[in-house]
Amino acid sequence: TKVWQVMDGSNPEMLAEQLEEAAALLRAGELVAFPTETVYGLGADARNTKAVESIFKAKGRPSDNPLIVHIADERQLDELVLPYPELAGRLMKQLWPGPLTLVLPVHPEAVSPLVTAGLSTVGVRMPDHPAALALIQQSGCPVAAPSANRSGRPSPTLAEHVLEDLGGKISGVVDGGATGVGLESTVIELPDSNTIRVLRPGGITAEQLQNAAPEARIDAPAPTTSEVTEAPRSPGMKYTHYAPQGDLVIVQGDRAEAVRYIQEQVNGTRATELKTGVLTFDERTASFDADLVLTYGSEQHLEQAAHRLYAALRRFDAEGVQRIWAEGCSEEGIGLALMNRLAKAAGHQIVRL
Ligand code: TXA
Ligand code: MG
């Protein structure tokens, strides 16, 4: 697995030059991982069935979970999709490039049927990352790319995470340092001309969608704290995801009670010699005594918590932590996506105090 370092502050021409070999490999049907503003993606030419098949193999991904197609230019869209609602056009204009994936009617034969898992729709997005845009542009391909992790593990926010999971199995990785948002894109569909249905909360918040389309009705998933769970609408939402190897429990509710509860659990577990971990906020790191205490950053900055979540989950694995308690947070703004991923990572084990 080759690693191409992209230099900070490279302009588009320099990037094109640095990424020439990576782009040529994509064109030739090889797998190349690359940074986006959300997480690292594992890219392949979306039109090449053999290439797309090797994405599923490398990740160990179930074949009924469709892939997002990444583009660098609005003109690429015409070849990929059939006519779409005017609302979609407005959202793209305002929020692309950015962490928003639109599920649109797929143009027959535009991409390999493996990309859409046989559905009549395709998820498309234009990432807001100079190296991703340069790579896609230079390759000349629509680039199918799931997150570049082994299926079930936390998504990669560093090139090192990609190598940890897929080193030796893919042709290369473009190393652009840490990704920005740290959680995946928001996936939406438009069931009618005035409704935006959020299939997966992510980097674009419900508020941002509402601002981009003030008259639209936003149909967003219920917060994890509500007990009702619906049948998954997006195929990918039904699988175990983002999980560390240790057993993870989320603790929500009154902060003082949460501290007391978690510390009691840690103390009880220590008697069994299992390695314990706590994921908390800066405001309370000093309140815990466990084998490994990690922080999301300040509770006042949930963007930072989103940015750090996956790296923290991977760190617990690296240190062999077997029992982990993570403090939950507000589900406002990016908090909705954060709690969505955390709940999945915990297999929905949530203690409410
Ligand atoms: O931020 C992201 O979206 C990252 C970066 C690499 O772009 N990609 C990513 O891909 O998270 P992946 O494969 O890990 O997640 C794609 C999600 C899955 O939940 C999948 O089910 C959903 O998008 N999806 C893709 N195509 C779909 C479609 N046609 N209809 C409904 N859901 C779809
Ligand atoms: Mg993924």
Do 171 and 73 contact (CB within 8 A), yes or no? no
C-alpha to C-alpha distance for 283 and 281, rounded to whole angstroms: 5
Q: Is 94 exposed, middle or buried (0-12, 13-18, 19+ CB in 10 A)?
A: middle
Ligand 1 atom 17 nearest Cα = 236
Q: In the beta sheet, which residues pair with residue 144?
A: 44, 69
Angle between helices 335-345 and 302-318 (to 10 degrees): 20
- pLDDT given at position 231: 45
Say which ligand is closest to the CA of 236. Answer: 1
CB of residue 66 inside a 6 A radius of ligand 1: yes
- pLDDT given at position 7: 83
Q: Is the ipTM of this complex over 0.90?
A: yes
C-alpha to C-alpha distance for 295 and 293, rounded to whole angstroms: 7
Closest ligand 1 atom to 149 CA:
14
Closest ligand 1 atom to 202 CA:
1
Q: 225 φ, ψ to 5°?
A: -75, -15
C-alpha to C-alpha distance for 329 and 302, rounded to whole angstroms: 8
CB of residue 179 inside a 6 A radius of ligand 1: no
CB of residue 299 inside a 6 A radius of ligand 1: no
Residue among 67, 70, 80 whose CB has most ligand 1 atoms within 8 A, to mutate: 67
CB of residue 295 inside a 6 A radius of ligand 1: no
- 155 CA distance to ligand 2 middle (Å): 6
Say which ligand is closest to the CA of 185. Answer: 1
Q: What is the pTM of this model?
A: 0.95
pLDDT beneath 70: ranges in the chain: 225-240
pLDDT tens for 179-197 read 999 999 999 999 999 999 9
Strand ranges (E), 147-263:
172-175, 186-192, 195-200, 217-219, 247-252
CB of residue 103 inside a 6 A radius of ligand 1: yes
Closest ligand 1 atom to 119 CA:
29
Ligand 1 atom 24 nearest Cα = 66
